[in-house]
Structure 1
Amino acid sequence: MRELAAAYAQNVPALDAHSLMLGLAGIELQFMPMGDRDGAYDPEHHVILINSKVKPERQRFTLAHEISHALLLGDDDLLSDIHDAFEGERLEQVIETLCNVGAAAILIPEALLADMVGRFGYTGRTLAELSKRADVSHSTALYALAEQTPTPTIYAVCAVAKQENEEEVMQNVLSVRVSGASAGVKYSLGVGTPIPSEHPVAAALETGFQMEGESFIPFKSGRKMPAYVVAYPLRSRAVTVSFALNDGGSKAGEAAE
Structure 2
Amino acid sequence: MRELAAAYAARVPSLDAHGLMDGLDGVQLRFMPMGQRDGAYDPEHHVILINSQVRPERQRFTLAHEISHALLLGDDDLLSDLHDSFEGERLEQVIETLCNVGAAALLMPDALIAELLERFGATGRALAELSRRADVSASTALYALAERTPGAVLYAVCTRSRLETETDDEDGGAASGTALTVRVSGGSAGMKYTLRPGTPIPADHPVQAAFESNLPLTGPSYVPFRSGRKMPAEVDAFPVRGRVMVSFDLNGRGGT
After superposition, give the CA deviation of every residue in 1:127-170 in whole Å (9 maximum; x if it has no partner): 01112223322122212212212323221111122322234222
Given that 2:150 and 2:190 are in contact with CA atoms closer than 8 Å, whether structure 1 keeps it comes out as no
Aligned residue for 2:170? none
* Superposed displacement of residue 68, structure 1: 1.1
Partner residue of 1:238? Answer: 243
State which of 200, 206, 218 in structure 1 corresponds to 2:206.
Answer: 200
Aligned counterparts of 2:91 and 2:228: Cα–Cα separation in 1 = 35
Cα offset for 1:88?
Answer: 5.2
Count of aligned pairs between the two proteins: 248
Aligned match of 2:226: 220
Equivalent AA in structure 2 for residue 130 of structure 1 = L
CA contact (8 A) 1:205 1:237 kept: yes
C-alpha distance in 2, partners of 1:14/1:195?
A: 39
How do 1:9-158 and structure 2 match up within 5 A?
9-87=9-87, 89-158=89-158
Query: Who is 2:185 aligned against?
Result: 179
Range with bigger deviation, 211-220 or 78-87: 78-87
How far is the alpha carbon of 1:85 from its aligned partner?
Answer: 4.6
State the Cα distance separating 1:202 from its structure 2 match. 0.8
Q: Could you tell me whether the CA contact under 8 Å between 1:30 and 1:48 is conserved in 2?
A: yes
> Aligned in 2, Cα 1:80/1:32: closer, same or farther, shift over 3 Å?
same
In 2, Cα distance between equivalents of 1:86 and 1:214? 47
Sequence identity percentage: 70
Q: CA 1:135 to 1:196, structure 2 compared with 1: closer, same or farther past 3 Å?
A: same
So what's the TM-score if we normalise by structure 2? 0.85
CA distance in 1: counterparts of 2:132 and 2:84, whole angstroms = 39
Report SS of the residue matched to 1:151.
Answer: coil
Aligned counterparts of 1:106 and 1:115: Cα–Cα separation in 2:
16
Matched letter for residue 27 of structure 1: V
- Runs of 4+ in structure 1 off by over 6 angstroms are none
Once residues 92 and 155 of structure 2 are traced to their aligned partners in structure 1, the CA distance between those partners, rounded to angstroms, is 25
Secondary structure in structure 1 of the residue aligned to 2:166: coil
Q: Which residues of structure 2 form unaligned runs of 5+?
A: 168-173
Distance (Å, rounded) in 2 between the aligned partners of 1:34 and 1:212: 43
Letter matched to residue 244 of structure 2: V
Q: RMSD over aligned Cα, in angstroms?
A: 2.4
Give, in angstroms, the shift of residue 18 of structure 1. Answer: 2.0
- Which segment drifts farther, 79-88 or 155-164? 79-88
Question: Given that residues 180 and 200 in structure 2 are in contact (C-alpha distance below 8 angstroms), is that contact kept between their aligned partners in structure 1?
Answer: yes
CA distance in 2, matches of 1:229, 1:90: 39
Provide the secondary structure at the position in 2 that maps to 1:49: strand
* CA contact 1:104–1:143 (8 Å) conserved in 2: no
Per-residue deviation, 1:186? 4.6
Unaligned runs of 5+ in 1: 250-257
8 Å contact kept, 1:201–1:231:
yes
Length-normalised TM-score, structure 1: 0.85
Q: Residues of 2 paired with 1:91 and 1:122: CA distance?
A: 35
